Chains A and B, each alone.
Chain A
């Protein structure tokens, strides 16, 4: 009997390897796939029957007999007919969870290489035009039109041009890049090969964060197997080394070049002077993986779905305290509330949703009163947030938003590349200010129950750094503190004003979005959840 079990890192973390082994031991032919993308039913097994693949999940290794005779209570029927999947528009993730990710036969049988074949039949300019017409915008966060970026590289003179895939996916609450690389690596390879044809690139790099060992393994294997199909274009995986800022495109390029991952000033644009000083396309995994569909099915088919200037689909990731977490690919325009409540099913523990953070550690926190927001670049920007890489992290009513604001500053301090002062030093000062606010607020409002009575080891990441390199020790720290703490006004009002002021400085005085966008989570927490910062009534000016 043929059985399908995911080998996605999340499925394995939930025990999928043991399940697969148990079915293999029972004499089944086990095919390891990527994940379908709904983690509340994992580990999931699918049994091939005359009526198609029938899913059971979650199951454990002890469930083999009940699954094989069809009596298991967690029988789900055909998985793609579950409501979580039936409502999706899987343009990019069509094969993920369905096929054996590294089988070239499976890939070719499910429309694989159709986009590359179509592209190769076209002149480079025509490929760029198709990507422009699709309306595809960068899925890494900034939403820059991919076709325009490619045009710049196509037009740039250069002996050698590079295609770089940004697979650093450092945002908490996101995992779509990982799932695609583990579940359908040839799709990314095909997208990069199309980009190479479009701009005249001959060599490509996929920069994958070291926290993704499964993706690194799968991509390397897939590149080896597909090498002859993409030649003369060549591809190589480069492994990151645990630096969030290396997701920023110029820091990423420096990292590939073997340097500290520090952000470069722009201009020059990477499109003109990128990797090793040559014209370079750098795109997120999802941007590149959307391209095969666009070439195979036509730009109109892609652009036909979407909302406003956000065309096509977005693989949204539902994460955190959410009942049905996972990957939901859908055209832009669906509202935040539909995603969190209707599809995600609210919180996992049944408590009310209090806040969602959209777009990772640099994204804003929104309360349920903002759930009418349509998922669209412009709508989120107008509301003081961003969709970023489309991760949605759900928090229940026990969340302490001052604590989350503190964390945003702490994360920025730990990950700052150190190039600009507002980010490097401001973030540490930000942690201190939030600490003062937390100390001064009357009663910690909704302190996470689990936290009570436990003193958390704080500043873990920072401690890890070489103590000799800390910027806030010794003389410097004394100098900064000479103006504090005795002489500063530690009242809530003063500290809150100071925090806003600091956010302002970071926003306008930082070179990249790490320092520049850390104010988003901090200010949104302050604006929407003032009670957690000790304010009695919502702060007026905040509403604007």
Chain B
């Protein structure tokens, strides 16, 4: 990771305002922001560890533990609720075998809440491994579950 961070800051600079872009890059590279890289990032940007830790934990996007192999982000916001989102949320938890906000024991899938994807007229919506999906119904959940199982 040290090398990755060095290379990244060489290209993008090591000013404080690069902290979020760097955290995004680290997470994309490693899948999560491990506690062990916090000191490395702090050193690279000349910040205190506590400072970096504070930023990592403030933002919902940054994970401190690895996600499942598949990530299903299901919208919980009002417009999706108006289209039956709560029932879909319960059904998704059941079909994927994992509670909202958790990663399944076998590491196959994480089910995460997201608050609006800007697709509010065609909900309930989800991002499945980054792919947007609209009008999620039980049939769509079955397809997602099959994808996760494969």
Contact A172 to B122, CB < 8 A, known contacts A243-B58, A257-B16, A461-B60: no
Residue from A42, A244, A258, A394 having most chain B Cβ neighbours under 10 A:
A258
Residue from A10, A463, A465 having most chain B Cβ neighbours under 10 A:
A10
Are A321 and B82 touching (Cβ within 8 A)? Answer: yes
Are B134 and A450 touching (Cβ within 8 A)? Answer: no
Are B90 and A325 touching (Cβ within 8 A)? Answer: no
Bound together, the chains give a CA A466 to CA B48 distance in angstroms of 20
CB distance from B44 to the nearest CB of A (A): 12
B148 lies within 8 A of chain A by Cβ: no
CB distance from B136 to the nearest CB of A (A): 10
Cβ-neighbour of A469 out of B57, B60, B99, B113 (below 8 A)? B57
Show the binding face of A for B, using Cβ within 8 Å.
9-10, 12-14, 39-40, 42, 169-175, 177-178, 210-214, 238-244, 255-261, 276, 317-322, 325-326, 348, 357, 360-361, 391, 393-396, 399, 404, 407, 411, 414-415, 448, 450-451, 454-457, 460-461, 463-466, 469
Are B59 and A411 touching (Cβ within 8 A)? Answer: no
Contacts A14-B122, A448-B87 aside, 7 further interface pairs with beta carbons under 8 A come to A170-B115, A175-B118, A241-B61, A258-B15, A258-B16, A361-B77, A464-B60
Are A258 and B119 touching (Cβ within 8 A)? Answer: no
Are A39 and B133 touching (Cβ within 8 A)? Answer: no
Cβ-neighbour of A211 out of B62, B84, B116 (below 8 A)? B116
Contact A9 to B83, CB < 8 A, known contacts A173-B78, A258-B55, A411-B115: no
Contact A258 to B20, CB < 8 A, known contacts A213-B130, A242-B60, A457-B101: yes
Bound together, the chains give a CA A178 to CA B119 distance in angstroms of 9
| A residues less than 8 Å from B17 (CB atoms) | 256-258, 276
Show the binding face of B for A, using Cβ within 8 Å.
15-21, 23-24, 45, 54-55, 57-62, 64, 76-84, 86-87, 89-90, 93, 99-102, 112-123, 125, 127, 130, 132-135
Are B79 and A172 touching (Cβ within 8 A)? Answer: yes
Bound together, the chains give a CA A396 to CA B55 distance in angstroms of 40
Are A461 and B101 touching (Cβ within 8 A)? Answer: yes
Bound together, the chains give a CA A415 to CA B80 distance in angstroms of 18
CB distance from B82 to the nearest CB of A (A): 3
Cβ-neighbour of A242 out of B61, B79, B82, B121 (below 8 A)? B61
Are B121 and A10 touching (Cβ within 8 A)? Answer: yes
- How many residue pairs link A and B with beta carbons under 8 A? The number is 189
The contact sample of 9 A-B pairs, CB cut-off 8 A, is A13-B134, A170-B115, A178-B118, A210-B24, A259-B19, A325-B121, A391-B120, A450-B86, A464-B60
CB distance from A325 to the nearest CB of B (A): 2
The residue in chain B whose Cβ has the minimal distance to the Cβ of A256 is B17
Are B90 and A357 touching (Cβ within 8 A)? Answer: no
Residue from A178, A239, A461, A469 having most chain B Cβ neighbours under 10 A:
A461
The residue in chain B whose Cβ has the minimal distance to the Cβ of A464 is B101
| A residues less than 8 Å from B57 (CB atoms) | 465-466, 469
Are B76 and A9 touching (Cβ within 8 A)? Answer: no
Are A212 and B59 touching (Cβ within 8 A)? Answer: no
Bound together, the chains give a CA A478 to CA B82 distance in angstroms of 36
The residue in chain A whose Cβ has the minimal distance to the Cβ of B117 is A211
Cβ-neighbour of A9 out of B55, B64, B100, B132 (below 8 A)? B132
CB distance from A10 to the nearest CB of B (A): 5
The residue in chain B whose Cβ has the minimal distance to the Cβ of A275 is B17
| A residues less than 8 Å from B89 (CB atoms) | 456-457
Bound together, the chains give a CA A177 to CA B116 distance in angstroms of 13
Are A319 and B76 touching (Cβ within 8 A)? Answer: no
Contact A239 to B58, CB < 8 A, known contacts A172-B78, A321-B83, A457-B100: no
Cβ-neighbour of A241 out of B23, B78, B116, B132 (below 8 A)? B23
The residue in chain B whose Cβ has the minimal distance to the Cβ of A171 is B116
Bound together, the chains give a CA A431 to CA B53 distance in angstroms of 29
Bound together, the chains give a CA A129 to CA B87 distance in angstroms of 52
